[in-house]
Amino acid sequence: WPTNNRYNARFSKRQSTEDPPGQPAAEEPNFNEEYDFVIAGGGTAGLVLANRLTESGKFSVLCLEAGSNPEIVRAYESPGGNQFIKGSAIDWNFLTTPQPHLNNRTLQYLRGKALGGSSATNGLYYARGSARVYDHWVEKGNPGWGWDEVYPLFVKSTTFNPPNTPELQAFDLDYKTWTESAYGNGPLELGFQGYVPPSTNGFIVAASEAANIPIVEDLNTGNAFGIKHGTATLNERLRRSSSYDGFYQQAKNRTNLRVLHYAPVTGIIFGDPPQNSTSPTNGTANPRAIGVSYIEQETGLVKQARARNEVIVSMGAFHSPQLLMVSGIGPEAELKKVGVEPVVINENVGQHLNDHSVFSIMALAQPNASTTEMSSSPNNLQIAQENFYTNLTGPYTAPSGVTNGFQKLSTEELQQIGAQAVIDAGLANQTHIEYLFESVWYPWIPTPFYVPQSNESYISVTASSMVALSRGNITLRTSSMSDQPYINPNYYADETDQKVGIASFKYLRQILRHPSLAQFTIGDNAGEISPGSAVADDDDDAILDYIRANTIPNWHASGTNQMLPIEDGGVVDPRLRVYGVDGLRVIDCSIIPVLPDVNILASIYMIAEKGAEMIKEDWNDES
């Protein structure tokens, strides 16, 4: 990867005798502060790192977060309040580019903008992938990331709260099972949602019988194939446990940790390491990241923070590649487009965006089988909130859906539906489709077939391919971090994704029509109103049209700084170091080389735990 000397020309410290006669000395960064590590982004991964890197006391750490404290949108803490985060001050409110394979629709893309990042705003569902997922990462060129190596880190992050208190025991406990040894005593608290309507258990039985998904004790022990009530990031008072609530609260009073919110990072600074540096990469010819610039929004002042050891970028799948690119690390044409002088050309930065997406079938439901009514009037919401805050009862104690089942298709079935490419990609031996139950109308958009009415109740059954092969990208709008990048997930570009989508639609119908679930619906065809009878069971073209009209993200964007050999599309090596640069790692969802076969939050906690462990090894912290 070619480099140039921009970092030297702009920022290197030079002896005045070395400067050519008559030339001014090179501009030096005016560092305001100095730490061992500077973490750009105080989200899910960023706050795990902030905690782990300061626990022994050996290092000082600055962590910079663009957003606020999440408590400015208090609804973030409650399961029922999840519906009020979308469009609020703790979300980035991104839009994708028009999606060519989804009728050119522009999609809302949610992303947490606060300490805790997306762990403070997400759907609360916690799941580890199949062992095969991580072993696959190793096969792709990432030693050290196999299931046996990463499983202890999944365990380390978490504490499981059994439903032991009188309040939790008052809820229906069917299918709320767990394997005790799968959890440790870490800062991230897990437990079960509270109230769920009876249709939720109906869904579990229906999915197990109609889609051949076994009812299991736990999905977090290396076999993600099965169904039960999901583990949720909730404490025993059913308040959200995010990286802000767990990892940050545990570490915030340490004198060697400084965490700033309202402090957006604007660029990475390159230059020489400090003279007494003991960097493991000291003396290489690579440019070296020595700090970051940021805006301290509360004073309006621009600051530059020096990182004696390393800069760690943890800004998520969209902003992390954007920061690399505006700082000079990225595809040549992309940097040229906005006039950024290259530091390291790497064509892979911002590419290979991989995401899961969802679509649903909606049915008219009996009011007590749905939680739609809770949100249908301010009065109902007030009652639900009061019940939650005073005695931990009622529908506000649960998000509208964290009961998910994961289906594994046989090799024969994959071939029969036209998904040989899934097998070829090494994804045969994992789960293939996630089925989700929502006790409301979901996704929240109307479809071409039905507009949700304020006086009706709904349930939705949702499918998400866990083997999405389509790839999109993140590209620059301008050279400034103040402007959102272009986000193109490119859903359904790959024809195999279309085949898997059609197959999963057919299973959704079978699940909805199964008597265990259909009994809670109103009307013909198990209450199906979207798409309803206009789309016949065997009309694949009409099914695909429906999917194109109804798909939204499942919020698992990843891969834009893949951990892979550089010749295979990589941006970081297996120790999460950016190729061609010293003193710079990326540790967040952007490094994922192959998406897990479940929702990805648990894997981000694991990646951050592993990143912290590797940094401590490299900098001789033996704690």
Which residues are at the interface with ligand FAD (CB under 6 A)? 40-46, 64-67, 110-113, 117-119, 121-125, 264-265, 314-316, 319, 481, 555-556, 588-589, 599-601, 604
On whether 556 is known to bind a ligand per the annotation, the reply is: yes
Within its chain, how far is the Cα of 306 from the centroid? 28
Looking at the DSSP bridge assignments, the partners of residue 33 are 305
We find the least distance from the C-beta atom of residue 111 to ligand FAD, in angstroms, to be: 5
We find the least distance from the C-beta atom of residue 472 to ligand FAD, in angstroms, to be: 16
CB closer to ligand FAD, 503 vs 576: 576
We find the least distance from the C-beta atom of residue 265 to ligand FAD, in angstroms, to be: 4
We find the least distance from the C-beta atom of residue 42 to ligand FAD, in angstroms, to be: 6
CB closer to ligand FAD, 293 vs 490: 293
CA dist 316 and 586 (Å) reads 9
Which residues lie closer than 8 Å to 383 by C-beta, 6 or more apart? 394
Kindly report the three-state secondary structure assignment for every residue of 345-378: ECCCCCCCEECCEEEEEEEEECHHHCCHHHHCCH
CB closer to ligand FAD, 154 vs 555: 555
3-state class of 334 per DSSP?
A: helix
We find the least distance from the C-beta atom of residue 346 to ligand FAD, in angstroms, to be: 20
DSSP code per residue over 240-284: B--TIIIIIHHHTT-TTEEEESS--EEEEEE-PPPTT---TTTT-
We find the least distance from the C-beta atom of residue 334 to ligand FAD, in angstroms, to be: 18
- What is the DSSP-derived secondary structure letter of residue 225? -
Given the structure tokens 């000291």, which residue do they identify? 282
CA dist 288 and 270 (Å) reads 5
CB closer to ligand FAD, 543 vs 584: 584
CB closer to ligand FAD, 54 vs 286: 54
We find the least distance from the C-beta atom of residue 533 to ligand FAD, in angstroms, to be: 32
CA dist 97 and 476 (Å) reads 12
CA dist 526 and 517 (Å) reads 8
CB closer to ligand FAD, 124 vs 311: 124
We find the least distance from the C-beta atom of residue 241 to ligand FAD, in angstroms, to be: 13
- Other C-beta atoms closer than 10 Å to the C-beta of 611 total 26
Contact 607, 591 (CB under 8 A): yes
CA dist 50 and 575 (Å) reads 18
We find the least distance from the C-beta atom of residue 411 to ligand FAD, in angstroms, to be: 27
CB closer to ligand FAD, 427 vs 591: 591
DSSP code per residue over 546-597: HHHHH-EE-S--B-TT-BS-GGGT-SB-TT-BBTT-BSEEE-SGGG-SS--S
Which residues lie closer than 8 Å to 541 by C-beta, 6 or more apart? none
Contact 335, 575 (CB under 8 A): no
We find the least distance from the C-beta atom of residue 314 to ligand FAD, in angstroms, to be: 5
CB closer to ligand FAD, 308 vs 556: 556
CB closer to ligand FAD, 44 vs 488: 44
CB closer to ligand FAD, 127 vs 422: 127
3-state class of 344 per DSSP?
A: strand
Contact 385, 411 (CB under 8 A): no
- Other C-beta atoms closer than 10 Å to the C-beta of 537 total 12
CA dist 403 and 323 (Å) reads 36
Given the structure tokens 């800069």, which residue do they identify? 311
**Rg of the chain on CA atoms, in Å:** 24
We find the least distance from the C-beta atom of residue 603 to ligand FAD, in angstroms, to be: 8
Closest CA to 233 of 399, 71, 52, 375: 399
We find the least distance from the C-beta atom of residue 290 to ligand FAD, in angstroms, to be: 18
Please give the C-alpha separations between residue 297 and each of 158, 264, 323, 484, in angstroms, as whole numbers: 34, 8, 18, 18
CB closer to ligand FAD, 112 vs 271: 112
- Which tokens is 170 given? 């008052």
Is the Cα torsion angle 121, 122, 127, 133 positive or negative in sign?
A: negative
On whether 216 is known to bind a ligand per the annotation, the reply is: no
On whether 555 is known to bind a ligand per the annotation, the reply is: yes
CB closer to ligand FAD, 46 vs 452: 46
Residue 64: phi and psi, rounded to 5, are: -115, 125
3-state class of 159 per DSSP?
A: strand
By beta-carbon distance, which residue lies closest to ligand FAD? Answer: 43
Binding site: what residues are annotated?
265, 555-556
Q: What residues form the annotated binding site for FAD?
A: 265, 555-556
